């Protein structure tokens, strides 16, 4: 789902809302379940879910009867979100960093600078897209987060030649 409306950009302006979208994953969840998973109170979660729902990013996904009432399940409106706005991407990555820092067991991440021809970069981006589409969504299996990306940094010291900062050695990053 491309993020394009002002309401969507505004909704994604808070890291908790990104964390909610990560937490929803492929399975619907209730306010209580999300509050427990994210270590927050139900009122805070309900508020942020309402903002996401009003922006069309989450939707009701059924109900269940609990003592003295009915609890609403929510799910993401789209499996994937795409946004080109730099500030929204920055907020998304802050929320992602919090998600990775809390990951168990230690997450596996590699940050690497590589040199590619435009044709090879397109081929690699296509392969990463295909990998993300093929990733399993088996019910009853443990959930994993996956971050794939290929980007061309802005011109600067890290992109000016061999031996400069941002070389080609992989840098493992753990939470």
23-53 confidence digits (pLDDT tens): 887 689 999 999 998 899 999 999 999 999 9
Handedness of CA 81, 85, 88, 91 (dihedral sign): positive
Q: Examine the fold and report which residue of 46, 77, 102 is the final residue of a domain before the chain moves on.
A: 102
Residues 33 and 14 in one domain: yes
Residues 77 and 1 in one domain: yes
- Whether the predicted model's global pTM rises above the 0.95 cut: no
Residue 61 main-chain phi, psi, to 5 deg: -135, 35
Residues 80 and 117 in one domain: no
- Tally of domains within the chain: 2
């Amino acid at each position: 789902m491309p993020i394009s409306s002002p309401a969507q950009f505004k909704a994604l302006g808070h890291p908790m809302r990104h964390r909610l979208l990560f937490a929803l994953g492929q399975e619907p969840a209730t306010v209580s379940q999300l509050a427990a998973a994210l270590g927050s109170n139900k009122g805070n979660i309900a508020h942020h879910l309402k903002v996401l729902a009003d922006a069309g990013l989450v939707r009701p996904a059924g109900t269940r009867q609990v003592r003295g009432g009915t609890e609403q399940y929510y799910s993401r409106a789209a499996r994937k979100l795409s946004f080109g706005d730099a500030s929204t991407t920055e907020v998304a990555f802050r929320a992602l960093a919090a998600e990775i820092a809390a990951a168990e067991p230690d997450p596996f991440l590699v940050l690497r600078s590589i040199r590619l021809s435009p044709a090879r970069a397109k081929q690699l981006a296509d392969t990463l897209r295909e990998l993300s589409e093929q990733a399993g969504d088996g019910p009853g299996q443990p959930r994993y987060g996956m971050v794939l990306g290929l980007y061309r940094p802005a011109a600067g010291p890290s992109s000016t030649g061999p031996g400069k900062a941002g070389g080609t050695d992989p840098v493992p990053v753990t939470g």
